[in-house]
Structure 1
Amino acid sequence: MSRPFPCACPNNWLGTASFRPALAGGERGPRPACRCCHPRYGKEKTVTNPTSSATPIPIVDTHQHLWDLRRFRLPWLQDVPQLDRSFLAEDYRQATAGLNVVKSIYMEVDLDPAQQVEEAEYVIDLCTRGDSSMVAAVIAGRPASPVFKTYISRFAGVPYVKGVRQVLHVATTPPGYCLDPQFVRGIQLLGELGMSFDLCMRSPELQDGVQLVDACPHTRFILDHCGNASVQAPDLSQWQKDIAALAARQNVVCKVSGIVASAKPGVWRPADLEPIVKHVLREFGPDRVLFGGDWPVCTLTATYRQWVEALWWIVRDLGPADQRQLFHDNAVRFYGLE
């Protein structure tokens, strides 16, 4: 079933539709209000909505944040006032309502490193309760730390803990940081323990990621946020080459997440995100891409629903099986979910 956007076009994503005057017989009908849908410029467009079918595509969200500021300290929030409040499980339920999110994977939130153990224990408890969509977690860690082996070993036998992330696009991690021998050894250890590592780094430093992957052939990597390409970047040519290089490494998958946060607030369109998503799909193929909501960070520019529906529009030409792989099956297989 096809579902029109407000003006029957995703390019009027945040706008409003105008309406035709009453027709003969008293009927009224929607008229495209945006440039690309106006009869002068082109035909009305619709988007295939997987959840409108009799068998809606379930979603596994591989990038769900939560933070409770009553118990955790997130220093970076002082620079992002829009997010400087608690975001809890009930907020996530409300944000995802009606979208058939059947499972979600917690993603660490770059909190005060002194609270990493507490954060891990907190999310493990949330996973064990069974009263939310959260079924697994990628926890924080500092692979270059001399105590990383002791830290991560305590969680190695916990089935809910699937991997580790350290954000690499902050001031304390300069270019080349992930190539430090101690860091590399920490990532190799993750592979030995059957855990993955999320690559979340500056787009110009993706070649560092390529070298890290080559140094750790037995560790599985997830490239977060399509390699952090900016939707507003004037030139994506180097990013395209780096994505191709990472995709050539078979122990890397790519998370289609996060990019909407780099779009221009209030005026972005799904078509603005399309070149990045399409390039990732082309290079990694349908069986090595994962959907991620990146909530609540996505709310800097879009609601959760707007991000999901934008992605539905972008992948409208994919077959049902490939759409299901992106939104569900690949995550189940990669993370070993039941």
Structure 2
Amino acid sequence: MTRQLQVIDAHFHMWDLERQHLPWLDGMPSLNRSFPLHELENEYEQLGAEFLGGVYVEVDSDDPLLEDRLVYENNDPKILARMLRAQVGPYMRVPINATGIREPLHTDSAPRGRCMEPSFIAGLRAMADKGLPFELCNRGAELPDMAQAFSQVPSLTVIMDHLGNMPDLSSTSRKAIEAMAALPHCYIKVSGDLPVDRDIVAFIRDTFPPDRILYASNWPVVTVHSSLQEHWQLMLDTFGPDEDFFKHNAMRAYGIHADMLTVEG
């Protein structure tokens, strides 16, 4: 009997709208309900994959402290890492249950140039000193800014969401991604909310070292314009059943140990 492909999903969300308010959902009716983690488990089961767990990424709630508590209280063993929200700075507050930090740089509230502010760079250096990874979600047009900012802290583990939100294959975008890929501790997730561009996926595959490319779904946001099944098939078509891509690279990026995994059978 062929063993199922084991997967660690490096980027999923979940929320409970009876307890949380996510203002950005107001214009997204298909997502404007609660999404518990067991629904994602069921989807992987239907795909014939063995879902070992994944990385919870903050959901841009209007109350991050409540989100921290809800994630803390959720003892589901499939939550293998937690990337929680904080404002990056040299004296930043970090939730005690956080694996790492995401400060959203892709939202309307994030000003252009935020990543270049001295306090932000100082915060990145403080995170690097503590061995705390930064989860990077940026606007695609600002990829050159990201390359300029993060090259100042090469010792930091930075994990780029959604192919860096790379908008196109222009020389400007390519150079920025190549600069990020040259950083020794920079990882990138093949995920997104729109159906990902096959040519951009191929460029990322050929540009980043293979041990720093992560499989990720961005569930449930992936369901708005695509589906988990469609995304999964593209990943198989592009990377094949590569256990490093689907599992081991995420373990390395987020410090997930084998004894944390619940393996079926």
Q: What do residues 257-299 of structure 1 show as CA deviations (whole Å, max 9, x unaligned)? A: 11xx224xxxxxxxx7321111111111211101111000000
Match of 1:262 among 191, 194, 218: 194
Aligned to 2:84: 139
Q: What are the ranges of 5 or more consecutive residues in structure 1 without an aligned counterpart?
A: 1-52, 264-271
Aligned to 2:247: 328
Distance 1:216 1:111 in 2: 28
Match of 1:87 among 14, 35, 47: 35
Q: What are the ranges of 5 or more consecutive residues in structure 2 without an aligned counterpart?
A: 258-265
Distance 1:141 1:95 in 2: 31
Please tell me whether Structure 1 or Structure 2 has the larger radius of gyration of its CA atoms: 1
For the structure 1 residues 290 and 196, does the alpha-carbon distance in structure 2 shift closer, same or farther, using more than 3 Å as the test?
A: same
Distance 1:75 1:162 in 2: 25
Q: Report if aligned partners of 1:289, 1:330 keep a CA contact under 8 Å in 2.
A: yes
Q: Report if aligned partners of 2:239, 2:245 keep a CA contact under 8 Å in 1.
A: no
Distance 2:255 2:163 in 1: 22
Check if 1:292 corresponds to 2:236: no
Q: What do residues 108-154 of structure 1 show as CA deviations (whole Å, max 9, x unaligned)? A: 01111xx222212221332x343xx212110111114x8x52x21x5
Aligned to 2:132: 195
**Structure 2 counterpart SS, 1:106:** strand
**Structure 1 counterpart SS, 2:211:** coil
- Normalising by the residue count of structure 1, what TM-score does the alignment of the two structures yield? 0.71
| Aligned-CA RMSD value | 1.9
Distance 2:124 2:232 in 1: 32
Q: Report if aligned partners of 1:110, 1:166 keep a CA contact under 8 Å in 2.
A: no
Aligned to 2:236: 312
Aligned to 1:28: none
Distance 1:252 1:313 in 2: 24
Amino acid at match of 1:139: L
Deviation above 6 Å: which 4+ runs of structure 1? none
Query: RCO (CA 8 Å, sep 6+): is it higher in 1 or 2?
Result: 2
Amino acid at match of 2:206: R
Distance 1:332 1:190 in 2: 19
Q: What do residues 31-80 of structure 1 show as CA deviations (whole Å, max 9, x unaligned)? A: xxxxxxxxxxxxxxxxxxxxxx7133211001010011111111111122
- Normalising by the residue count of structure 2, what TM-score does the alignment of the two structures yield? 0.89
Amino acid at match of 2:28: V
Amino acid at match of 2:56: Y
**Structure 1 counterpart SS, 2:134:** strand
Q: Structure 1 residue 223: deviation in Å? A: 0.9
Distance 2:148 2:197 in 1: 28
**Structure 2 counterpart SS, 1:255:** strand
Q: What do residues 88-110 of structure 1 show as CA deviations (whole Å, max 9, x unaligned)? A: 12222222223211121101011
Q: Report if aligned partners of 2:143, 2:166 keep a CA contact under 8 Å in 1.
A: no
Q: Report if aligned partners of 2:100, 2:132 keep a CA contact under 8 Å in 1.
A: yes
